[in-house]
Amino acid sequence: MSEEKNEITLKNYQVKIQDGLLQHLAEFIKPLWQPKKIAVITDDNVGPLYVDKVEAQLIEMGHRVVILTVPAGETSKSWEQVQVLIDSLAQNNFVRSDGIVALGGGVVGDLAGFVASIYMRGISLIQIPTSLLAQVDSSVGGKTAIDLNAGKNMVGSFYQPNLVLIDPSTIQTLPKRMLVEGYGEIVKCAALVGGSFWEIVQKVHQPADIILQAESLIHASIAFKASVVMRDEKENGLRKLLNFGHTLGHALELIEDGQLMHGEAVAVGMAYITAAFEKKGMTAAGTTAEITARLAQVGLPLVANQLGSAAFYRAMLHDKKIKGDQIILVYIKKIGEPAFYPLKITELKKWFEPILNSQIEDN
């Protein structure tokens, strides 16, 4: 991995991070793609903001462009939308050397990435994530997915894009809740990395500070993710570290039925997994307070209604990191020192119950 201020190189592709980059796409796309057919997949929130601008630039480069718009929201990560998109590609005679541009948040990135990975066994893909969460989380690492009734991201693939283009200025138009949600994922990365990254996070005292620090925060998060993913593309070991806060978080997301956004659920998950390990003496005293302070200052939630319910424990059993009769928990010994702890599934309840009965302090 090479790394300069605005550019991170992964095995086969680059991530470009630059304010205003959406205004001059040719600079990045032209060296990569000869004129071809391109499907721009977007949603009905993001499309109206950016798709005309993107389309005009692609046509200027000599591409033939098809715009495919899905309804905004998690429900579009479905078999139904996959089939609609695939049929559109086939009807337009897309071949393997044509391309897809995913323009939108995490839902569009996950869905369009999955479609790109399976149409003709894989066609070229450029990710242009426009939400903070997608920029720091789902656009790097090659995970694509759709949801089943049984759980989020139950179907998907590992598929690397050809290029990821991030324009931090797009987060200025995000609703505050989505901005803050993305920041939850950033705090997760910072807690795993520690050092100077944790120092930048400490400069964020309110949502507006996220926008002020956007470029540094996005860059630090992606550089960390890239270093981990490069060493473990298929999630056999190290990459599981990125699931800090996700074991509890995914379960909550599932059963709270859309009430909690992903970054919010991860925030609650980080708070409680850290509290549980701190109570056991495996995490340095005060670490939970350090983390919850960062989350609370921007208004991220620290509790959820369903924490500790029977449904909550049941939902954890769908975790993709379950191996045999064990669930692999990610915790931190202190800020910047992550570790794994394999827990017997049968002991899940005993492990978490004590901490769920006490209130995490919000200092």
User: Minimum Å distance from CB 360 to its own copies?
Assistant: 29
User: Minimum Å distance from CB 80 to its own copies?
Assistant: 10
97 binds its own copies (CB under 8 A): yes
**Is 318 marked active-site?**
no
325 binds its own copies (CB under 8 A): no
Structure tokens, 317: 């059993």
67 binds its own copies (CB under 8 A): no
Check: CB of residue 178 under 8 Å from CB of residue 131. Answer: yes
Using the rule CB under 8 A, give the single segment among 189-197, 243-251, 290-298, 318-326 that binds its own copies: 318-326
In degrees and rounded to multiples of 5, residue 214 shows phi and psi of: -50, -50
On whether 180 is known to bind a ligand per the annotation, the reply is: no
Cβ distance to its own copies smaller for residue 130 or 144: 144
Structure tokens, 279: 């109570």
User: Minimum Å distance from CB 156 to its own copies?
Assistant: 5
Structure tokens, 206: 């309110």
DSSP code per residue over 5-48: TTEEE-SS-EEEE-TTGGG-THHHHTTT--S-EEEEEEETTTHH
User: Minimum Å distance from CB 287 to its own copies?
Assistant: 30
In degrees and rounded to multiples of 5, residue 110 shows phi and psi of: -65, -45
In degrees and rounded to multiples of 5, residue 75 shows phi and psi of: -65, -15
On whether 152 is known to bind a ligand per the annotation, the reply is: yes
65 binds its own copies (CB under 8 A): no
Residue choice 6, 23, 34, 75 for contact with its own copies (CB under 8 A)? 34
The CA-based dihedral angle spanning residues 147, 151, 152, 158, taken in that order and rounded to the nearest 10 degrees: -80
**Is 233 marked active-site?**
no
Amino acid at 188: K
**Is 80 marked active-site?**
no
DSSP code per residue over 45-70: TTHHHHHHHHHHHHHHTT-EEEEEEE
Residue 269 CB-density burial (10 A; 0-12 exposed, 13-18 middle, 19+ buried):
buried
The candidate with the shortest Cα–Cα distance to 184, out of 341, 317, 294, 307, is 294
**Is 363 marked active-site?**
no
User: Minimum Å distance from CB 342 to its own copies?
Assistant: 13
**Is 177 marked active-site?**
no
32 binds its own copies (CB under 8 A): no
Using the rule CB under 8 A, give the single segment among 9-17, 46-54, 110-118, 256-264 that binds its own copies: 110-118
* CA dist., res. 98 & res. 38, Å (int): 6
96 binds its own copies (CB under 8 A): yes
Strand 326-334, strand 322-323: pairing: antiparallel
**Is 235 marked active-site?**
yes
User: Minimum Å distance from CB 146 to its own copies?
Assistant: 9
The candidate with the shortest Cα–Cα distance to 262, out of 181, 317, 187, is 181
- Active-site hit among 45, 63, 240, 243: 243
On whether 246 is known to bind a ligand per the annotation, the reply is: yes
Which helix (H) or strand (E) segment holds residue 274: the answer is: helix 262-279
Q: Identify residues 114-173 at the interface with its own copies (CB under 8 A).
A: 114, 117-122, 143-145, 148-151, 153-158
Binding residues: 106-110, 130-131, 143, 152, 170-173, 185, 246, 262
Residues that bind its own copies (CB under 8 A): 34, 36, 79, 83, 86-87, 90-91, 93, 95-97, 114, 117-122, 143-145, 148-151, 153-158, 234-235, 317-324
Which residues are designated catalytic? 121, 143, 185, 225, 235, 239, 243, 246, 250, 262
Binding site for NAD(+): which residues?
106-110, 130-131, 143, 152, 170-173
